Copies of this chain bind each other. A is one copy, B any other.
Amino acid sequence: MARTAGQRSTQRLTNSVRWLNHREEAAWRAFALAMAKLRDTLESQLERDADLSFIEYHSLARLSDEPDHTLRMSELAAVTNASLSRLSHLVSRMEARGLIRREPDPTDGRFTIAILTNAGYTKLLESAPGHVATVRALVIDEFSAAELQELRGFSERMLARIETFTRD
């Protein structure tokens, strides 16, 4: 359903906009900047030390979480927060590198199963220490246990709102 310029789902019908006050704006800018730089820094560390992007690393990691090192493509897409199309291209490349392979699901041919290869598992084991050390250095080690629980709580509250927002 097309939307004309004046009809924005997120805009009130009145023309009164609740702008951010100074404190809100400062908090938002700091948080937005931290998110961007955190992502960039984790990406560079993985790319430099392991020749993996963040999502490639997490594809290996999420597969390794499974007892049989296996997930359907659509499940892997869900847990890595990627579109199926993006994941399909990405797994094609990782398949060419021998890190993941694919097979049709024997129980239902509509599904494709992504399987962590031995080489892929080895790659994960090699790159995990450097990645975890970076996550510690940038985030975890900065905070007390209580603060980390707060950060988790904040994150979950935002996730709940994103869920609601995206549903509409």
Interface residues of A (CB under 8 A from B): 3, 5, 8-12, 17-20, 23-24, 26-28, 30-31, 33-41, 45, 48-49, 81, 126, 128-130, 132-140, 142-143, 145, 147-152, 154-159, 161-162, 165-166
Contacts and interface: CB of A to CB of B under 8 A. Distances in A.
One complex includes copies of this chain to the number of 2
A36 B78 CA distance: 13
5 contacts: A10-B49, A12-B133, A17-B128, A20-B135, A27-B151
A81 B48 CA distance: 20
Contact of A155 (B34, B159, B161): B34
Nearest to A17: B129
B150 A150 contact: yes
Closest 4 CB pairs of A and B: A27-B152, A34-B155, A30-B155, A8-B130
| Residue among A3, A27, A143, A156 with the highest chain B CB neighbour number at 10 A | A27
